[in-house]
Amino acid sequence: MPHSFISIKKFTNEPYSKILGYPRATSRQIRSRINELEKLKIKSISLTGPTTLGKLAILGKGYVGVVVLAKKGNKQVALKIRRTDSQRKEMKNEANLLKLVNSVSVGPKIFDASKNFLVMEYLEGIKISEWILALKGSGSAKKLKSTIRHILEDCYRLDQIGFDHGELSNISKHVIVGETKSTLIDFESSSTKRRPSNVTSVTQAIFIGSGIAKKTQKIYKNPPKEEIISVLKQYKQEKTQESFDKLLKILKL
């Protein structure tokens, strides 16, 4: 479905200015942010998505920023806007973290960044929890297994470079499933200073936790929790390809 876009020049006024300077901003701050967007070659923004800010539709909202669909030249991109009440003073650190995960083919591609904005690949899709709920009919087990395996392989690559996403125990908000691929998103709480637990967190969220684990169990029979916990412990200690393969085997992936 084609999206309609509004010129960023209109974002100096309410209600649109609320998006550029959420939750509160002076008109001077808004003008400064519009100048910043012009330097990034962001021409327009589309008010679309599953989340709302007041009465305006957006792609997402977190502690650090709000995400909207935008246009850079003729290309549709995801634009992350730093909240004015965010504890982060700029977006540079998150941009660097994204570049790092991109280096092992994980996460949305980062195109550009400035003090208050991140310009990223726009990924069409839905949250994994909604996607699992919508799975029906023949082939659903195969689709589910393929998607989970892909997510775990991404997590394994992050574990290997000592990168911890930080929020994968709450997987429903941090994985988007589209027509052709699934992607980990939202790296604002990530760190290279913590011990990585990406594979562990996702396995626990999908197979051991409550919400999603119950849904996956209905689509394909999971092995007993004790078996999963046992191989997870081994993986946690070793983080080798061999222990990861063993985990995939136990999970029937």
Angstrom distance (rounded) from CA 55 to CA 245: 47
Counted domains in the chain: 2
Q: Answer for the pair 237, 246: CB distance below 8 angstroms, yes or no.
A: no
Instruction: Say what the pLDDT of residue 211 is.
Output: 83
Last residue of a domain, one of 62, 94, 121: 121
pTM for this structure?
0.92
Q: For 28-62, how does the pLDDT look when each residue is reduced to its tens digit (9 = 90+)?
A: 999 999 999 999 999 999 999 999 999 999 999 99
Q: For 209-242, how does the pLDDT look when each residue is reduced to its tens digit (9 = 90+)?
A: 878 888 898 898 888 999 999 999 999 999 999 9
Q: Angle 17-19-21 (CA atoms, 0-180°, nearest 5)?
A: 70
Q: Which two tokens stand for residue 76?
A: 């549709």
CB neighbours of 24 closer than 8 A, spacing ≥ 6? 84, 85
CATH number at residue 117: 3.30.200.20
Residue 96 has pLDDT above 70, yes or no: yes
Q: Which of 89, 12, 6, 81 is nearest to 40 (CA)?
A: 81
Instruction: Give the whole-number percent of the chain exceeding pLDDT 70.
Output: 99
- 221/143 same-domain check: yes
Residue 159 structural domain = 126-250
Q: Which two tokens stand for residue 133?
A: 């709920």
Averaged confidence pLDDT in the chain = 94
Domain annotation covers residue 1: no
- 233/131 same-domain check: yes
- 63/166 same-domain check: no
